[in-house]
Chains A and B, each alone.
Chain A
């Protein structure tokens, strides 16, 4: 148990930024939802920890847990969240943010579909395509198509601003 505690603490301190930014981007900047997702991700990590033997990289493993937590969590609460989307954007826009790009960033990413949003954030995190394919289980060929389509869509969104 001591070992599990230590491993959890290590993973938490090393990867909390990565998990947080993915959850924040996925929740379109909604702070409450982000906190829920981060907590749920680390709860799922705690649950899966005894079986993890570090044969694959901890980073990929944690990305998987985080991506699945987001996708399945949003599924559970999709209707509620979609209804609140406009309000969420307003909340972000109203904050005395230091960076206009910061708001635009979440608004632009937030307009993509859930899966595309996840994929594009992994690309923004500069993960190699092979690793994104490993995390999502999407073939590399399909992944390239999806990334290219999501980039085009983002481009349109950014141009329209």
Chain B
């Protein structure tokens, strides 16, 4: 067995010599650019959600100031849900950023597992609650809106929410399934790091 392994060791050394590293003189610039791009992408997510929040708030403040208490509760639920969602996104980003790649592998895997476990929690009761409250908030606007719009437009409005809801459900579900698969694989990695 050792003979074969020594042979493998020699091949490994030879392969290193025969196939030199393709050097990249501008690696520092590439790394800096990629690093700032990854940071900016997350900031943009929060900015977009923030803009939706501002748009929604401005719409109900300037364009359609609702008068009834039920409608105001509805607006509160919708905007509140969005704020909670933005906070979750920022916390998620922070947690992902805190995975220490310079730690020993078992620690890094543990941090990565904790991150995905947190995401699992978020995808479960938290997301369902946010969506439920947002939906209740949306339909709570219906009675007051129906005073100003015809039944046809009310059906259109409520119906389009359902369509958007189904599309969002499919997209979100795909992401959740992927993340749960990641969690399973990281847990397997963690187990293999701890067992003999």
Seen from chain A, the residues whose Cβ lies within 8 Å of a Cβ on chain B are: 5, 8-9, 12, 16-17, 20-21, 24-25, 39, 42-48, 51-52, 61, 64-65, 67-69, 71-72, 75-76, 78-79, 98-99, 101-102, 104-105, 108, 113-115, 121, 124-126, 134-138, 141-142, 145-146, 151-152, 154-155, 158-159
The answer to whether the Cβ of B67 comes within 8 Å of any Cβ in the partner chain is no
Complex Cα–Cα for A124 and B12 (A): 7
B3 to chain A: closest residue by CB = A155
The answer to whether the Cβ of B151 comes within 8 Å of any Cβ in the partner chain is no
Interchain CB contact under 8 A, B104 and A21: no
Interchain CB contact under 8 A, A101 and B107: no
Complex Cα–Cα for A105 and B13 (A): 11
Q: Looking at the complex, which one of A42, A121, A136 makes contact with B106 (CB distance below 8 Å)? A: A136
Interchain CB contact under 8 A, A102 and B15: yes
Q: Which chain B residues lie closer than 8 Å to A115 at the CB level?
A: 189, 192-193
Q: Looking at the complex, which one of A20, A48, A68 makes contact with B21 (CB distance below 8 Å)? A: A20
Interchain CB contact under 8 A, B189 and A75: yes
Known: A48-B100, A136-B104, A137-B105. A99 touches B20 (CB 8 A): no
B118 to chain A, nearest CB (A): 16
List the 4 shortest-distance A-B pairs measured between CB atoms, nearest first.
A137-B104, A137-B106, A20-B21, A44-B101
Complex Cα–Cα for A34 and B119 (A): 29
Interchain CB contact under 8 A, A138 and B4: no
Interchain CB contact under 8 A, B105 and A67: yes
Known: A16-B21, A24-B19, A71-B108. 7 other contacts (CB 8 A): A8-B31, A48-B102, A79-B181, A101-B11, A104-B11, A108-B8, A124-B9
Complex Cα–Cα for A72 and B108 (A): 9
Complex Cα–Cα for A69 and B16 (A): 21
A to B contact number (C-beta, < 8 Å): 143
A149 to chain B, nearest CB (A): 9
Would you call the interface of chain B mostly helix, strand, loop, or mixed? helix
Size class of the contact patch on chain B: 35 or more
Q: Which chain A residues lie closer than 8 Å to B189 at the CB level?
A: 71, 75, 114-115
Complex Cα–Cα for A17 and B7 (A): 21
Complex Cα–Cα for A138 and B100 (A): 17
Q: Which chain A residues lie closer than 8 Å to B196 at the CB level?
A: 141-142, 145-146
Interchain CB contact under 8 A, B4 and A158: yes
Q: Can you report 18 residue pairs joining A to B where beta carbons are below 8 Å apart?
A: A17-B20, A17-B21, A24-B19, A48-B101, A68-B105, A71-B189, A72-B99, A78-B185, A102-B14, A124-B8, A124-B12, A136-B193, A137-B106, A138-B106, A138-B194, A142-B194, A146-B196, A155-B4
A147 to chain B, nearest CB (A): 10
Interchain CB contact under 8 A, A71 and B11: no
B168 to chain A, nearest CB (A): 24
The answer to whether the Cβ of B28 comes within 8 Å of any Cβ in the partner chain is yes
Q: Looking at the complex, which one of B18, B21, B23 makes contact with A102 (CB distance below 8 Å)? A: B18
Q: Which chain A residues lie closer than 8 Å to B22 at the CB level?
A: 20
Complex Cα–Cα for A139 and B163 (A): 54
